Amino acid sequence: MPAPSQKISPKIRILPEDLTNQIAAGEVVERPASVVKELVENSIDAGATTIRLDIEGGGKKKIRIVDNGIGMAPDECRLAFSRHATSKISKFEDLETIHSLGFRGEALASIASVAKVRCSSTRDESEGGKLIVVNGGEILEERDVACPRGTTLEVAQLFYVIPARSKFLKGDSTEFSHITQVITQQALAYPSIQFLLTHNGREVINTLPTDQLHYRIAELFGGDLAKFLLEVDATSDEYRLTGYVSSPVYTRSNRSAQYCFINGRFVRDKVILHATQQGYSHLLPKDQHPVMFLYLTMDPHLLDVNVHPSKAEVRFAFQQDVHRFVAHGVRAALEKNQQAPAVDSTPRSAADIPLCAPTNPPPSSPRSDSPPPPSPSSPRTDYPPPPWVDKARVPHHDDRHQDLQTVMGHGHAPAASQVTCFDNAPTPVADLIYSEFEPVGQLDRSFIIMQGKKGLLVVDQHVAHERILYERFRAAAQARKVEVQQLLFPLAVALAPGESELLRPHLTRLLDMGLELEPFGQNEFLLRSVPAILKNGDHEKLLRDTIELLPKQAQEDILHEKYEQVLIMMACRNAIKVNHSLNLDQIRKLISDLEQTAMPYTCPHGRPISLLFDIDDILKKFLRK
């Protein structure tokens, strides 16, 4: 241990300006999309009505933005690249009434410290403008130039000063997909502005200025989505909520199509998201999310946007009031636009039942995967055999087969005193031979009942068929021998720009799975073929669900995992549903196919396919053992 006199006392020093700029850049500039966001916000604050972005190499090679905003005076161009230089605020009180998107004065200085930047700008093209060239925070050139009114700014070789940082960037397609998302957000926030986005010379987004938000949404996401939107318009003394939310019949499996704006600023706010979900209450299926485009306006005094340099997080002065207001606004929109359906006591069709129904439905609502009890006013409905059964071999009616619900008097629950439980819970099956059991019928038109020497076997028909289809899909995809069905009329599907960019790198791999897609227009694709076994499904929903599962990164292990999820989704979509009648021939065919799979005891999601009620436990209950 060194003597006290030998201790080295660290010297406190002021960091050089170039180093402080690079440290600040770590917060402001995370990736090319961060640069685009800051530059576009500056253009919007400058009053631009047209903003053009030309991107090369996913933004890592070059970002070029041209706007027709107010521009900068010649003496302001150099000053703009200094830290904390801004025209948005001038005193402390201004922080409490932020009306602009930018206000920190850090963006240009941070960007210029880690890239090569060229900026030309003027307020009056007749007087000429100024060109500034900055490399790694050092101004290399400054001269007068002729240029149109507005600002043109080029950012090249991002992070060339700190190569270690550039190693953390993803592939070109991934980085550009983030840029596309940023432009989509700003185009939704400001429909009156024309946005033009190109990547390596290919036009990706080109919006027309409009005062109709509904039109801008249709332009970016397609007319099909716009048809399912319900208008939101709620007002209180402090808040105003406008925009659109999707009808409960139109949902997504993730939150990728949820956009919230507060005073014109895109934010990711948990309060708003939770309030929206509460507004839908029990109207949404499990693990499904609505599409939403919500615009909340309020007095800036009630909002703090100075939380993080990215300005994507906010704090509310009265959080509970905002939550309550948004939830009530969404609920009112749903109630106003939702037509009360006619009372129908007949059992729902299999198409109306969720493919992976929750095992424990909410207590406030009836079971969504079981039909009402049989009654004279609601007779049993005969369903056609599922597509995996040879229809020529299926008899029209089999007197030997009766649904166990009818045999056991479904709808007449025994008294509580008559109900007893097994000492041992039914066990998931992991080693038995299905052929040792004889099918008896169905329970609740969702579970196959089989009997054998070991006891009573209950098989979930949906997950059993899901396992069969999954292994067929996987084997065919690996061998690249998927049987495809050419569509008589190719299906045109309009995608959001971000979805389009995400899909393009995967077209060849999806073709191996039987999905043949052809680019058609700017962000549209023609679906020409689907796997033959899915020919009768909802092809557009299949495609959209597939896109939501595609990876944004190109690592092989991630690709393999995501493609496995696509195969599982395809199997789940086409498997027979709960609440679907099967006769004994169909049951035997299903069990036979299941027994030939490599993993006949769990579905691809990991759920048990079968449960065994042990015969010894049954005998104990009847006092026979």
CA–CA dist 347, 170 (Å, integer)? 50
- Residue whose token pair is 């993993």: 599
Which single residue is written with the structure tokens 């009620």?
613
pLDDT of residue 14: 67
Nearest in space to 454 (alpha carbons), one of 440, 468, 437 = 437
pLDDT category at 306 given cuts 50, 70, 90 is: low
SS3 464: helix
pTM score: 0.62
Q: What pLDDT shows up at residue 224?
A: 79
pLDDT tens string 87-131: 554 444 445 555 556 555 577 888 888 889 999 999 888 888 889
Mapping DSSP onto H, E and C, the string for 359-419 reads CCCCCCCCCCCCCCCCECCECCCCCCCCCCCCHHHCCCCCCCCCCHHHHCCCCCCCCHHHC
Query: Buried (b) or exposed (e) across 479-512, using 16+ Cβ within 10 A?
Result: eeebebeeeeebeebbbbbbbbbbbebbeeebbe
Distance between CA atoms of residues 366 and 278, nearest Å: 19
Closest by CA to 68, choosing from 102, 44, 41, is 44
187 with 205: CB under 8 angstroms?
A: yes
Query: What is the DSSP code string of 276-293?
Result: HHHHHGGGSPTT-EE-EE
Q: Given this model, what pLDDT does residue 406 score?
A: 37
Give the per-residue pLDDT at 431. Answer: 67
State whether the Cα torsion 469-475-478-482 is positive or negative.
Answer: negative
Predicted confidence at residue 217, as pLDDT, reads: 92
**Domains, the chain, ordered by start:** 17-206 (3.30.565.10), 213-336 (3.30.230.10), 400-625 (3.30.1540.20)
Q: Which residues have a Cβ under 8 Å from the Cβ of 567 and sit 6 or more positions away? A: 470, 473, 474, 477, 513, 604
> Scanning the structure block, which residue is given the tokens 């040792």?
436
Residue scoring higher pLDDT (472 or 153): 153
**Residue 122 dihedral angles phi and psi, to the nearest 5°:** -160, 155
Closest CA to 119 of 80, 92, 157, 82: 80
Q: State the Cα–Cα distance between residues 522 and 518, nearest whole angstrom.
A: 12
Residue type, 589: K
Residue whose C-alpha is closest to residue 484's, from 525, 535, 537? 535
Report the SS3 class of residue 257: coil
Query: Who has greater pLDDT, 197 or 510?
Result: 197
C-alpha distances out from residue 35 to 18, 117, 490, 520, Å: 18, 12, 39, 30
Q: List C-alpha distances in Å: 172 to 176, 185, 212, 247, 552.
A: 6, 20, 33, 36, 11
Average pLDDT in the chain: 76
Q: Which residue has the higher pLDDT, 471 or 550?
A: 471
pLDDT (tens digit per residue) in 231-270: 999 999 889 999 999 888 788 888 888 999 988 889 888 8
Write a three-state SS string for 125-149.
HHHCEEEEEEECCEEEEEEEECCCC
pLDDT of residue 454: 87
Which pLDDT belongs to residue 309?
A: 57
Longest CA–CA span in the chain (Å) reads 105
Please give the pLDDT value at position 496: 86
What is the Cα–Cα distance from 433 to 456, expressed in whole angstroms? 13
Question: Which H/E stretch holds residue 18?
Answer: helix 17-28
Q: Where are the alpha helices (DSSP H) in 418-555?
A: 461-479, 497-503, 507-512, 539-549
**Cβ atoms of residues 583 and 396 within 8 Å:** no
Name residue 533's beta-bridge partners: none
CA Rg value for the chain: 31
Q: 381 phi and psi, to 5 degrees?
A: -105, 130
Express each pLDDT in 154-181 by its tens digit. 999 888 888 777 778 888 888 999 999 9
Question: Which two three-digit tokens encode residue 83?
Answer: 């830290």
Structure confidence by residue, pLDDT tens digits, 22-41 = 555 555 678 899 899 989 99
Element (H, E) at 618: helix 615-621
Q: How confident is the model at residue 553 (pLDDT cuts 50, 70, 90)?
A: low
